[in-house]
Every structure is written in structure tokens, then in C-alpha cells.
Structure 1
Amino acid sequence: MNYLAHAYLSFGDPKVLIGNFIGDFVRGDIDTTYEKGIVVGIKLHWEIDKYTDNHPVVKEAQSILRPEYGRYSTVITDMYFDYFLGRYWKNYSAKPITEFADDVYAVIEEHHEILPEKFLKTFGYMKFYNWLTGYGDLDGIRRALTGMSKRTTFNSKMETAHLFLDQHHEYLKVHFGDFFEDLVSHSKKTLAELQSE
């Protein structure tokens, strides 16, 4: 999953949100580097990614992308799912997405001093271009995928993936809906287990 989903799946806990956002940017002994709430968020991030990568509905969605996008199908699927979460946000939260995004950005800025440098660079772009609200429309996802395609080593074709999304919108939307319900339940259960350790 991508940033919007990781933010949503932090369930309003600021420390968990921080950990969930930096999960891809940390290695080593996290238990001595960060306080427990942030460690919980990092471990939750890892579990969300693992669960997503192995879910049969996600694998099925990726299978229609693979002939065109190969190894980048997993990355593109993550982006698509953030698109559907943003697009149909009102189905998942009573708080407007603009307000939600502003709250997320504020929490990250409050913890600026302890965050990895590589993440802070990414966050600068995230806030400036307001990725969290931008994911929910086709042009926003086009900009995000085009930006990612410029940073790939091989020809990813990600700059065309918004067209594929438009063409297969209903098929992918159904897959997102089926999967995301499972992911929310799994994430709540995992979070409760991590917090009780």
C-alpha cells in the first residue's frame, strides 16, 4: 500500500502514524532508536506490506497489469489502491480528506527532528504537491506515476499506467473493495497485538 493507506491504517494514533510512514526508510535495531509507539507503527507498516503482497485478490489484480508493466505491477497496484481510497474516501471516513491530510502533515512536522533524512526529502514533495489528496483523481495519480517512472532504472512505462487504470476502472475498483475490507480488519488486529506486547 502507499502513503494514504498507511496513514488511514494508523487509526488516528500519531506515534503509529510516524512509524507507519517511515517503515520503508528504517533498518537495524528500531527498538533502541525509537519509542514504543513509533516502533509499533514501523512493524505495522511491515505487516501491512507483507499482507498486501500475499493477498490473493491483490495478486489477481496484479495479474492483468503484469503483461504490460512486468515487475512494476506491484508498485502500480499500490498506487491504484491509494487512488481508490482517495476517490471513495467518504465510504471510509467521516473526516474530509483535506482535513485528514492536513492533520497528517502536522503530525509529521511535529516529529521532524527524529525522522530519517531520506524520508524528510520525500515528505517535502508530499506536502508541497499534496499527494494525500491528489491520489484520489486521475490527474493526481498520473503525476505521481510519471514522477516515479523518471526514477526507475528500467523502462517501467508507469507514465502510461493512469490510462490502464481508466480503462480497467471497474474491475480494479471491485478488487480494491474486496481487499481493503480484509486489510482494515487485519491491520486493526495486528495493531492491537503489537500494542499489547
Structure 2
Amino acid sequence: MNYLAHLYFAEPTSESMMANLMGDYVKGPLSADWYPTLRPGVMLHRKIDAFTDSHPLFLQAAARLSPARRRFAGVILDICFDHYLSRHWDRYSDQPLDQFISHGYQLLGRYSGFMPESMRLPVSKMIQQDWLSSYAETSQIPLILDRVARRLRRPDRMLGSGEEFLGLYVELEQDFLRFFPQLMDQVDRLKAEDRWG
């Protein structure tokens, strides 16, 4: 899952929101005493990614992409699934999406000095350019995917994946709508167990 989904599953505090995004920027094993207020969020992020990447519905969605692009299926689908989460937000949250995003930006901005260096610039851009709101616009997804592709060492195979996304829009949406409630249940179980490490 991408930024919006990870923030959705965080607790509504600065430390939790920051930690739930930090999972992409903090690598390797974490010791039991690693920043105790941040560790649960990073571990939850990792558990969400592991559950998602191995789930049959996610694998089914990945198999819909053309063979040349399947290597990037994780990146492509993370962004596409954030789009569907935006579009269907009212199914999953009582808080309006724009309020959720604004609150998230405020909390992340307040604690940017505590982020790893590699995380600071992307989060700053996300806030300044309002990435999270742009996910809701179908027309923005091809542009976002191409922007991500251009950051790759060999972007040619991922460039243009937005057109493929548009052609598969309904099928991928159905994959998401069947998958996301299962992810919600899994996260509820993880939080109840309180042992993400």
C-alpha cells in the first residue's frame, strides 16, 4: 500500500503517522528498544506490506498487468490502490477525506525534523504539492505513475503504465474493493495482538 493507506491505518498522532510512513525509509531489523514510540508504527507498516504483497487478490491484480510491467506491479498497484481508497473513502471512514489529509499534513509537518533524512524531502513534497488529494483524480494517476517511473534507473518499462491502469480500471477497482476489507480485518487483528515486532 502507498502513503494514504499507511496513514489511514496509523493512530491519529504525529508519532504514529510518521512511523507508519517511515517503514519505507527504515530498513533492516529493529531492536526491541529502537525508539519505542515509533517502532510499533514501522512494524505495522511492514506487516501491512507483507500481507498485501502475498495476498491472492493483490497477486491477481498484478497478473492483470502486461508481462513487461509486472516487475513494477507493486509500485503501480500501491498508487492505484491509494486512488481507489480515495474514491471510496466514505466506505471506510466517517471523517471526510480532505479533513483527514489536512490533519495528516499538519502532524507530519510538525515532526519533520525527527524523520530520517531520506524521508524528509519526499514528505515535504507530498505536503507542498498535496499528493494525497491528487490520488482521488483518475486523470492524475498516469501522471503520478510516469513521475515515479522517471526516478527509476531504467524507466522505459514502467512509463505509460497509467494507460494500462485506465484500461484495467474496473477490474482493478473490483480487486481493491474485495481486498481492502480483508486488509482492514488483518490490521485490526494485529493491533489487538499488539505484537507487530
TM-score, L = length of structure 2 = 0.91
1: distance between equivalents of 2:113 and 2:129? 22
Q: Which residue of 1 aligns with 2:74?
A: 74
Identity %: 28
Residues 138 and 162, structure 1, Cα contact 8 Å, conserved in 2: no
Could you say what secondary structure the match of 1:151 adopts?
coil
Moved more, 111-120 or 174-183: 111-120
2: distance between equivalents of 1:156 and 1:91? 36
**Structure 1 residue 95, shift from structure 2 partner:** 1.6
**Structure 1 residue 11, shift from structure 2 partner:** 4.3
Instruction: Report the aligned-residue RMSD.
Output: 1.9
Matched, 1:155 2:155: yes
Larger helix proportion, structure 1 or 2? 1
Q: Which residue of 2 aligns with 1:105?
A: 105
AA partner of residue 168 (structure 1): L
Residues 4 and 132, structure 2, Cα contact 8 Å, conserved in 1: yes
**Structure 1 residue 143, shift from structure 2 partner:** 2.5
Deviations along 1:135-171, one digit per CA (max 9) or x if unpaired, are 1112222222111111112234433222222211111
**1:127-166 paired onto structure 2 within 5 Å:** 127-166=127-166
Moved more, 187-196 or 76-85: 187-196
Residues 40 and 196, structure 2, Cα contact 8 Å, conserved in 1: no
Q: Which residue of 2 aligns with 1:6?
A: 6
Alpha-carbon spacing, 1:92–1:29, altered in 2? closer, same or farther (3 Å): closer
Q: Which residue of 2 aligns with 1:44?
A: 44
AA partner of residue 21 (structure 1): L
Q: Which runs of 5+ in 2 are unaligned?
A: none
TM-score, L = length of structure 1 = 0.91
2: distance between equivalents of 1:71 and 1:160? 14
Q: Which residue of 2 aligns with 1:88?
A: 88
2: distance between equivalents of 1:11 and 1:111? 15
